[in-house]
Structure 1
Amino acid sequence: MIHLEHINLVVKNMEATLAFYRAALPHWRVRGNGFDHWHGMPRQWLHFGDDYQYLAFSDNGQGENRDLTTLNLGLAHFAFVVGNIDDLVARLAEAGFNADKQGAENPYRKNFYYLDPNGFEVEFVEYLSDLPKERNHYHD
């Protein structure tokens, strides 16, 4: 079996980043962290997740994230499946984060897209069916 273990992201501010992901994923925790150098630059690194999957963050990111309104090369977004999208939206709003946009209407899922403090687009999706044919429904 193959599954995605982690995504490694360079971020500007570790605390702002953690505030977003802690609100979105309250069951996750800091698994490990430390300080080192990356190509001669100091950085803090941190792994935030559970025992099986995590987000790896390194701070001191420079520049701007890719413009999501273009077809420029780079990460478009990554997504998490959640059990209750309404609870997630409420948690993020309480923490000061509002959705950037809602996904297209679909009878088998509800989804929202957020921009994290670093400009990464993160999708959260709640599936309303356990049937693969319905979960993977694209068009009528």
Structure 2
Amino acid sequence: MIQLEHVNLVVKDIPEMLKFYQAVFPHWYVRDEGHGEWSGKPRNWLHFGDEYQYLAISDHGEGENRDLSGHQVGLAHFAYVTHDLDGVIARLTEAGFEIYQNGTDSSYRKNIYFLDPAGFEVEFVEYLTDDPKLRNSDG
């Protein structure tokens, strides 16, 4: 079996990223943190997650994230499955984050998109069926 353990995000502001992801994952915690150097530049970093998966976040980012309305090569978005999409939306909006884009109108799923403070588009999806063939159907 192979599973995704972590995603490494290079950002400008770790505390703002932490505020966003703490709203999404109230049960996660800072697993470890420190500072060092990456390619000649100092950086702070932390791992935010649980025993099974986490986000590695470091603050040595420069420039802006890719234009999500453009066609540049790069990350388009990543997604998390939840059993309580309304709860995720409520926690994020209460923390001051706005919905970036509404999801698809489907009988088989509800989804929504937010931008995190570094400009990464994050999708949250709640499936309304256990049938994998229907989950991404437009039905």
Look up the equivalent residue of 1:23 and give its one-letter code. Answer: A
Look up the equivalent residue of 1:103 and give its one-letter code. Answer: G
- CA shift, 1:27, in A, is 1.3
Root-mean-square deviation (Å):
0.9
- Using structure 1 for the length normalisation, give the TM-score: 0.96
**Where does residue 6 of structure 1 map in the other structure?**
6
- Using structure 2 for the length normalisation, give the TM-score: 0.96
**Where does residue 87 of structure 2 map in the other structure?**
87
**Where does residue 113 of structure 1 map in the other structure?**
113
Unmatched tracts of structure 1, length 5 or more: none
The CA distance in 2 between the partners of 1:44 and 1:71, in whole Å, is 31
- CA shift, 1:94, in A, is 0.5
**Where does residue 62 of structure 1 map in the other structure?**
62
Q: Equivalences for 1:1-140 in 2 at 5 Å?
A: 1-137=1-137, 139-140=138-139
- CA shift, 1:122, in A, is 0.4
- CA shift, 1:136, in A, is 3.1
Look up the equivalent residue of 1:11 and give its one-letter code. Answer: V
Task: State how many pairs are aligned.
Answer: 139
The CA distance in 2 between the partners of 1:46 and 1:4, in whole Å, is 18
Identity %: 60
What whole-Å deviation, never above 9, does each CA across 1:6-63 have from its counterpart, x for those lacking one? Answer: 1101011010000000001111111111110111111011111111111100113110
2:20 aligns to what SS in structure 1? helix
My pick for the range that moved more, 125-134 or 71-80, is: 125-134
The CA distance in 2 between the partners of 1:44 and 1:119, in whole Å, is 19
Unmatched tracts of structure 2, length 5 or more: none
